[in-house]
Amino acid sequence: MPTSHIPVITIDGPTASGKGTVAHKVAEKLGFHLLDSGALYRLTALQALRRSTPLNDEHALAKLAEHLHIHFSGDAIFLSNENVTDAIRAEEVGNTASKIAVLPPLRHALYGLQLGFRKAPGLVADGRDMGTVIFPNAQLKVFLTASAEARAERRYKQLIGKGISANMDDLLMDLRARDDRDMHRAIAPLVPAEGAHVLDTSNMTVETAVEQVLGWYAAIGK
């Protein structure tokens, strides 16, 4: 099957909108592959922090990204055989990823890597520019959103549940700052893709959001 014929569902949205969880469950139900594009930027950020790579050295960061040895296994994410699933979810890593994601050389370095995830029988790609830049011809495009307050509360519960101390006011401030960076960056700003279904999950369960996305996909071609 030509790559262009392999179905793609893109699920974009801001931090803590629930897109990662929804994407994972949709992919699982359809038997599709999953691309967590945000993890690629977080992996680059984690490696940069560990190696003390200057965050303004865009070419060094791009080179770092090109040599990442990444492996996804179910819910787990591996970097050179090390399980870094929890490590890349740290707030420092997330904030760093948001800052370096604006750099053109880094985005270019990760572009081809992301396209390579499109394999039969299909792909669910989650991120911030999946429907606008990486897979603009996707069969279904979804933009998940939620209020900053709802997203901060979700992130707070996630962190506390993992035994990580967190402050709600700080999380809310960080989310708003990250939203502002993502929406106003010059390259691939965070916006709903043309033709995307916008889904506000502020007061919605994960199961309801998943069923809505599956319903939209089932309706394609009918």
7 appears as a binding residue in the annotation = no
163 appears as a binding residue in the annotation = no
Structure tokens at 62: 């791009």
17 appears as a binding residue in the annotation = yes
Structure tokens at 220: 């394609």
131 appears as a binding residue in the annotation = no
98 appears as a binding residue in the annotation = no
127 appears as a binding residue in the annotation = no
Name the CA radius of gyration of the chain, rounded.
17
Is the previous residue joined to 121 through a cis bond, with omega within 30 degrees of 0? yes
122 appears as a binding residue in the annotation = no
**What does the alpha-carbon distance between residue 101 and residue 41 come to, in Å, rounded to a whole number?**
7
94 appears as a binding residue in the annotation = no
Residues annotated within the binding site for ATP are 13-21
Residues annotated within the binding site are 13-21
